[in-house]
């Protein structure tokens, strides 16, 4: 492991011994969920990883030090701090050089997980291509998947995005989008979000998912997306979501929200408009993805 990377003793020992480890991102803690739901969800996700037979490794940059495997105190600090930066892959060097504390997005978490030898990562929803006319408003998550060999377990891409365009970009980049017990690309916490979008392959077990990822990497591939739908009973109806999204987008435009602030702004506003429905769904899918990631990681190490 590189000397610039701080790796928790438990994570380091597990990687060295070939035991399963699951990376978890920190942006959802610092920027994606409100207090105290953010800390509760982080703890629940780590507990589900352990229940699935793996070691959890939540990732962030703490005072300029990229850290794989946060302690309980560090999780709580991140959940309550008001001055945490949001770091994608391009921002890691700045966070290190300027000794910042930064929560890592999917792209940055993938990069740090890979540096630590961790091959499986669980998150909520991917970034992707945004709606609107700006052709290059595309998340770095997609390019990171094309170059970093990490299996990302998620609930598809966030419902506020242009999902068909996101899938087209992943195809162009050579990234398999694999449905877990589904033939359709999940749409984060929304149910029946327009016509179904097909995944590139389907698996029905953690063993199959691990075998597909192993084959992809063996043949020179990099990242793989493994997506499972938000469970029925928790997922949000599409019509209601569309109304909330339209109102949230109007509010974002009126407030002059741009760039990296758009996604957290929209998700927070939609959570308010939904009376917490989207927040509950988001929490449920994050925890479910953590458990699935642990099961796949165990198969990779078997």
Does the residue 281 lie in any domain?
yes
pLDDT score, position 159: 85
Q: Is residue 86 annotated as a catalytic residue, yes or no?
A: no
pLDDT score, position 134: 65
pLDDT band at 164 (very low <50, low <70, confident <90, very high): very high
Report the pLDDT averaged over residues 39-59. Answer: 98
Number of domains in the chain: 1
DSSP string, 5-52: -EE-HHHHHHHHHT--EEEE-SHIIIIIS-TTHHHHHHHHHHHHHHHT
Q: How far apart are CA 38 and CA 76, in angstroms?
A: 9
Report the pLDDT averaged over residues 246-259. Answer: 89
194: which 2 tokens?
């327009």
Reply yes or no on whether the pLDDT at 302 is more than 70. Answer: no
Q: Where are the beta strands (DSSP E) in 173-227?
A: 177-180, 190-191, 201-203, 224-227
Does the residue 142 lie in any domain?
yes
Q: 141-175 b/e with 16+ CB inside 10 Å = b?
A: bbbbbeebbbbbbbbbbbbbbbbebbbebbeeeeb
Reply yes or no on whether the pLDDT at 203 is more than 70. Answer: yes
Does the residue 43 lie in any domain?
yes
Does the residue 1 lie in any domain?
no
pLDDT score, position 156: 95
Q: Is residue 144 annotated as a catalytic residue, yes or no?
A: no
- Digit-coded pLDDT (tens) for 254-279: 999 887 778 788 888 998 998 989 99
Contact assessment for residue 25 and residue 144, using Cβ atoms and an 8 Å cutoff: no
Q: How far apart are CA 121 and CA 139, in angstroms?
A: 17
Reply yes or no on whether the pLDDT at 50 is more than 90. Answer: yes
What is the crossing angle of helices 163-172 and 140-147, to 10°?
30
Give the CATH number for residue 82.
3.40.1790.10
Reply yes or no on whether the pLDDT at 145 is more than 80. Answer: yes
Where helices occur in the chain by DSSP H, the ranges are: 9-17, 27, 37-51, 72-80, 92-97, 106-115, 140-147, 163-172, 206-218, 238-255, 262-273, 277-301
Does the residue 230 lie in any domain?
yes
Cis peptide leading into residue 183 (ω within 30°): no
Reply yes or no on whether the pLDDT at 136 is more than 70. Answer: yes
Q: How far apart are CA 21 and CA 68, in angstroms?
A: 11
Domain boundaries, position 154: 6-301
Reply yes or no on whether the pLDDT at 195 is more than 90. Answer: no
Does the residue 113 lie in any domain?
yes
Report the pLDDT averaged over residues 190-200. Answer: 87
Catalytic member of 46, 86, 144, 158: 158
Contact assessment for residue 7 and residue 62, using Cβ atoms and an 8 Å cutoff: no
Is the pTM higher than 0.85?
A: yes
């Amino acid at each position: 492991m590189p000397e610039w990377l701080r790796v928790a003793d438990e994570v380091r020992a597990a990687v060295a011994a070939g035991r399963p480890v699951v990376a978890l991102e920190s942006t959802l803690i610092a920027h994606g969920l409100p207090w105290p739901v953010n800390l509760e969800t982080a703890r629940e996700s780590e507990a589900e990883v352990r229940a699935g037979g793996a070691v959890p490794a939540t990732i962030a940059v703490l005072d300029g030090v990229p850290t794989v495997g946060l302690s309980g105190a560090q999780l709580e600090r991140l959940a309550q701090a008001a001055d945490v930066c949001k770091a994608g892959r391009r921002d890691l060097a700045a966070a290190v050089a300027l000794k910042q504390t930064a929560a890592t997005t999917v792209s940055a978490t993938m990069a740090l997980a890979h540096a630590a030898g961790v091959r499986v990562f669980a998150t909520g929803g991917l970034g992707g291509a945004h709606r609107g006319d700006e052709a290059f408003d595309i998340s770095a998550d997609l390019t990171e998947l094309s170059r970093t060999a990490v299996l990302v377990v998620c609930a598809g891409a966030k419902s506020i995005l242009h999902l068909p365009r996101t899938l087209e970009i992943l195809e162009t980049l050579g990234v398999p989008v694999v449905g877990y017990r589904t033939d359709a690309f999940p749409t984060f916490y929304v149910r029946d979000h327009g016509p179904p979008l097909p995944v590139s392959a389907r698996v029905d077990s953690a063993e199959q998912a691990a075998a597909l990822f192993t084959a992809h990497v063996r043949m020179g591939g990099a990242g793989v997306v493994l997506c499972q739908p938000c469970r029925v009973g928790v997922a949000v109806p599409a019509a209601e979501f569309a109304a909330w999204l339209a109102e949230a987008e109007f509010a974002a435009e009126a407030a002059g929200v741009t760039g990296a602030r758009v996604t957290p702004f929209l998700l927070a506003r939609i959570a308010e408009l939904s009376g917490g429905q989207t927040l509950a769904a988001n929490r449920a899918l994050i925890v479910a993805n953590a458990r699935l990631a642990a099961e796949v990681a165990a198969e990779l190490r078997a």
